[in-house]
Amino acid sequence: MSWLDEVKFDEAGLIPAIAQDWKTGRILMVAWMNRESLHETVATRKGVYWSRSRQKLWRKGEESGNTQQVHEVRIDCDADVVLLKIEQNGGVACHTGRESCFFRLLNGNDDRAQWEITDEVLQDPEHMYK
């Protein structure tokens, strides 16, 4: 029995993967993986996901150059979420040009609460993708 057989992919054959900065602990992004992308991630130690919109393997950084070096791979108790500790090349994980995709913070705790942007754009998104 392979380690990969213990991973529980959903009915679409996918599992969510959290990418966390290996040094600061900041959560940088969440994306999906299929069996092939998880296998390739572990074999190459690079972040490889499954793009649901494009329906193909997504080798993170293949266009932007912002590849991910994978230092640690974890799985949760139900084996249905993957956690990667990564080093984000270029310091930009989000397609908006920010360090993290979680750049919006809820300010308030009632119906008037608002999502506020806490992160600046570090890289022009127009120049990230060829």
Handedness of CA 90, 72, 58, 16 (dihedral sign): negative
Q: Between residues 89 and 96, which has the closer beta carbon with respect to a second copy?
A: 96
Site string for a second copy, 44-73 (x = CB under 8 A): -x--------------------------xx
Q: CA 122 → CA 20, 22, 29, 30, 82, distances in Å?
A: 18, 20, 16, 19, 27
| Paired strand residues for 19 | 29, 84
Distance between CA atoms of residues 59 and 57, nearest Å: 6
| Among the listed residues 110, 120, 124, 126, the single contact to a second copy using CB under 8 A | 110
In whole angstroms, the minimum distance from the beta carbon of 48 to a second copy comes to: 13
121 touching a second copy, by CB under 8 A: no
Burial (CB count within 10 angstroms: exposed 0-12, middle 13-18, buried 19+), residue 108 = exposed
| Among the listed residues 9, 30, 57, 89, the single contact to a second copy using CB under 8 A | 30
Q: Which residues bind a second copy (CB under 8 A)?
A: 2-3, 6, 16, 18, 20, 24-27, 29-30, 42-43, 45, 72-78, 81, 83, 94-96, 98, 101-106, 108-111, 113-115
